[in-house]
């Protein structure tokens, strides 16, 4: 599934750092439409673009050598074979990100959106948490608390746009029946227990034979839950917990290990198709989830290091449609909204200052490990 730009930017802000340019930076870079672009937001958008390029790098390309990598060529579309010079790709993606920010801000206002004091405070509090954790990096690179607040408020507006566009009173409302159908057919509420395929004391991994033995025991535990398939979610989760509690000592014993007291605690999570393809990487694991009906349990090795003992449960017995609406709309309409915002942003007038942007060149970006290599 296509990565959502804002989610990627947020993740990058939390994980990576920017290099200090060594040059004075302007307060503003200009405007896209009526949206004022601060130097901090420009640096953030630029670094996000660089990281997107880094994800497309070949195995022999060193993305920590920023100046060299900017001159390299990357394949931007594996299907068509389309390529781009990284410097050009970063410039284009930076502008695209800023246009998306501007589009979010404009569409939110057009649809009558207004952040409440409480919502603004939530965004600002998260920005403060980021500053508390990564403040030295941000400060060194011209990204201050006000920039993080602005970014978090943009993110919040982006989330709220789903309701403003597709909610019951939105511009293009999605019927509750369509939401429920999508929830039933494309999303999966799982109650589960994770079982490590290694000794939790020595961290020695199971052999293939041991994995097979552990999986067989987990599958027997799943089969023991069948009597509660038509029961309430509470009864189903209780049955899964009981089955795990009974089975885990024998499963762990295969590796001469013992389960922790909380090893049989049941967790729940609502997964999307994208989650399945990303997390359930072993052959057949994602299909095992897709094949479950409500109340049915199964066990599968879902990645190289873990078995999952799981049961699919009805999300509308755990929560309400209104409470899940934004999450469902995000999965159902998120890409459509992104495309609309990109198209809208492309129509906005670009009044960004070239001279201001030139004071913050991409060549000054570094990854955390690059400073030791320079």
Instruction: Kindly report, residue by residue over 167-219, the tens digit of the pLDDT.
Output: 999 999 999 999 999 999 999 999 999 999 999 999 999 999 999 999 999 99
- Model pLDDT, residue 134: 81
Least confident of 21-35, 75-89, 173-187: 21-35
Q: Are residues 303 and 333 in the same domain?
A: no
Least confident of 11-15, 219-223, 287-291, 343-347: 11-15
Q: Are residues 60 and 150 in the same domain?
A: yes
Quick one: average pLDDT of 251-272? Answer: 97
- Model pLDDT, residue 4: 43
- Model pLDDT, residue 18: 38
Q: Are residues 263 and 313 in the same domain?
A: yes
Quick one: average pLDDT of 146-165? Answer: 95
Does the residue 374 lie in any domain? no
Does the residue 152 lie in any domain? yes
Domain CATH for 211: 3.10.50.40
Does the residue 369 lie in any domain? no
pLDDT greater than 70 at residue 12? no
User: Quick one: pLDDT band at residue 7, thresholds 50, 70, 90?
Assistant: very low
Domain CATH for 58: 1.10.4030
pLDDT greater than 80 at residue 69? yes
Q: Are residues 234 and 309 in the same domain?
A: yes
- Model pLDDT, residue 368: 55
Q: Are residues 277 and 358 in the same domain?
A: no
State both tokens at 220: 């027997």
pLDDT greater than 70 at residue 81? yes
Q: Are residues 156 and 201 in the same domain?
A: no
Q: Are residues 267 and 332 in the same domain?
A: no
- Model pLDDT, residue 367: 58
User: Quick one: pLDDT band at residue 227, thresholds 50, 70, 90?
Assistant: confident
- Model pLDDT, residue 150: 95
Final residue belonging to a domain, choices 298, 318, 338 = 318
Final residue belonging to a domain, choices 318, 336, 356 = 318
What's the CA gap between 337 and 6, in Å, rounded?
A: 12
Q: Are residues 108 and 223 in the same domain?
A: no
Least confident of 98-102, 142-146, 265-269, 336-340: 142-146
- State the average pLDDT for the chain: 90
pLDDT greater than 90 at residue 64? no
Q: Are residues 191 and 54 in the same domain?
A: no
Domain of residue 67: give its range.
Answer: 5-175+325-364
pLDDT greater than 60 at residue 16? no
- Model pLDDT, residue 140: 67
Quick one: average pLDDT of 339-367? Answer: 92
Does the residue 45 lie in any domain? yes
**Neighbouring C-beta atoms of residue 190, cutoff 10 Å:** 20
User: Quick one: pLDDT band at residue 55, thresholds 50, 70, 90?
Assistant: very high
User: Quick one: pLDDT band at residue 144, thresholds 50, 70, 90?
Assistant: confident
Does the residue 57 lie in any domain? yes
Q: Are residues 193 and 62 in the same domain?
A: no
pLDDT greater than 60 at residue 133? yes
Does the residue 271 lie in any domain? yes
pLDDT greater than 50 at residue 311? yes
pLDDT greater than 80 at residue 5? no
Does the residue 198 lie in any domain? yes
pTM, 2 dp: 0.82
Tally of domains within the chain: 2
Q: Are residues 243 and 343 in the same domain?
A: no
Q: Are residues 165 and 186 in the same domain?
A: no
- Model pLDDT, residue 228: 86
Does the residue 216 lie in any domain? yes
Final residue belonging to a domain, choices 318, 333, 356 = 318
pLDDT greater than 90 at residue 3? no
């Amino acid at each position: 599934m296509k990565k959502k730009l804002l989610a990627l930017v947020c993740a990058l802000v939390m994980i990576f750092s920017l290099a200090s340019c060594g040059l004075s930076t302007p307060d503003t870079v200009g405007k896209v439409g009526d949206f004022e672009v601060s130097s901090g937001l420009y640096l953030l958008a630029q670094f996000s673009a660089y990281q997107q390029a880094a994800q497309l790098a070949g195995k022999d390309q060193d993305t920590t050598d920023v100046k060299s990598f900017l001159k390299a060529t990357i394949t931007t579309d594996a299907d068509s074979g389309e390529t781009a010079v990284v410097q050009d790709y970063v410039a284009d993606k930076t502008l695209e990100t800023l246009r998306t920010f501007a589009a979010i801000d404009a569409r939110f206002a057009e649809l009558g959106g207004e952040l409440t004091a409480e919502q603004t405070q939530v965004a600002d509090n998260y920005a403060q948490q980021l500053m508390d954790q990564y403040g030295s990096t941000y400060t060194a690179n011209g990204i201050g608390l006000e920039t993080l607040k602005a970014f978090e408020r943009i993110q919040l507006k982006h989330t709220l746009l789903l309701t403003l566009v597709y909610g019951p009173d939105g511009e293009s409302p999605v019927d509750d029946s369509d939401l429920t159908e999508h929830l039933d057919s494309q999303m999966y509420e799982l109650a589960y227990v994770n079982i490590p395929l290694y000794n939790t004391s020595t961290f020695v991994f199971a052999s293939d034979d041991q994995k097979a033995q552990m999986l067989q025991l987990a599958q027997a535990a799943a089969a023991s839950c069948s009597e509660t398939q038509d029961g309430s979610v509470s009864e189903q989760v209780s049955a899964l917990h009981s089955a795990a509690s009974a089975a885990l000592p024998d499963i762990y014993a295969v590796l001469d290990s013992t389960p922790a007291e909380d090893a049989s605690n049941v967790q729940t999570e609502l997964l999307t198709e994208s989650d399945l393809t990303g997390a359930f990487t072993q052959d057949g694991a994602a299909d095992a989830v897709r094949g479950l009906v409500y109340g049915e349990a199964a066990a599968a090795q879902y990645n190289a290091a873990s078995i999952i003992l799981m049961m699919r449960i009805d999300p509308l017995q755990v929560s309400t449609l209104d409470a899940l609406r934004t999450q469902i709309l995000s999965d159902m309409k998120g890409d459509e909204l992104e495309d609309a915002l990109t198209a809208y942003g492309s129509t906005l007038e670009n009044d960004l200052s070239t001279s201001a942007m030139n004071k913050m060149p991409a060549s000054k970006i570094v990854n955390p490990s690059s400073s030791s290599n320079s």
